[in-house]
Amino acid sequence: MKAIVKQVEGLTFIAKADSNHWIVIDGPKEYFGSEAAPRPMELLLISLGSCTASDVAAILKKKKVKMEGFEVRLEAERKDEHPKVFTKIHIEFIFYGKGIREEDVRRAIELSQNKYCPISAMLRKAVEISYSYKIVENRK
C-alpha cells in the first residue's frame, strides 16, 4: 500500500492512498491550520471505528441478521504531554432493530476485535481498547 500527503497551506493537507480517493486533513488555527477538516488523531479514531464496524456489519449480514440501523461510537483518552498518544479507547456498538440476538452481536464483535480488524490489532499493542454493545429495539 502506498499513500501521498500534499500540503495545501499551513496545516491543511490533501492525501490519497491506493483507492485513489482524496481526503482533506487539517489542524487547529493556533498551529496555522484552518480547522477545515479532521485532524490526524481524529482520522485514526474514525479508522478504528469504520474498520470494526465494517467487519461487524459484514458478519451480521452473512448471519442474515436484520437491523434497522447500526452505529459505532468511540471515545478516546490521550496523554497530556507530547507525544499526545491515545491511552484508552472505548468502542460502543449500538444495534437498532427487533429480534436481534445478543449472541450474534457478541460473536460478530469478538471476531472483529480478535481476528479481522487490522487497525484494532495494531492499536491494541499500544493502547487499551475496550468495547461494549447494546441492542435498541425501538429506534427513536
My answer on whether 98 and 50 are in the same domain is yes
Q: Which residue has 477545515 as its cell numbers?
A: 36
Mean of pLDDT values over 45-68 = 97
My answer on whether 83 and 95 are in the same domain is yes
The boundaries of the domain holding residue 114 are 40-136
My answer on whether 26 and 65 are in the same domain is no
My answer on whether 120 and 54 are in the same domain is yes
Q: Letter for the amino acid at 41?
A: M
Evaluate if residue 117 carries a pLDDT over 90: yes
My answer on whether 20 and 56 are in the same domain is no
Number of compact structural domains in the chain: 2
Mean pLDDT of the chain, nearest integer: 96
Q: What does the pLDDT look like over 58-77, one tens digit per residue? A: 999 999 999 999 999 999 99
What percentage of the chain exceeds 70 in pLDDT? 99
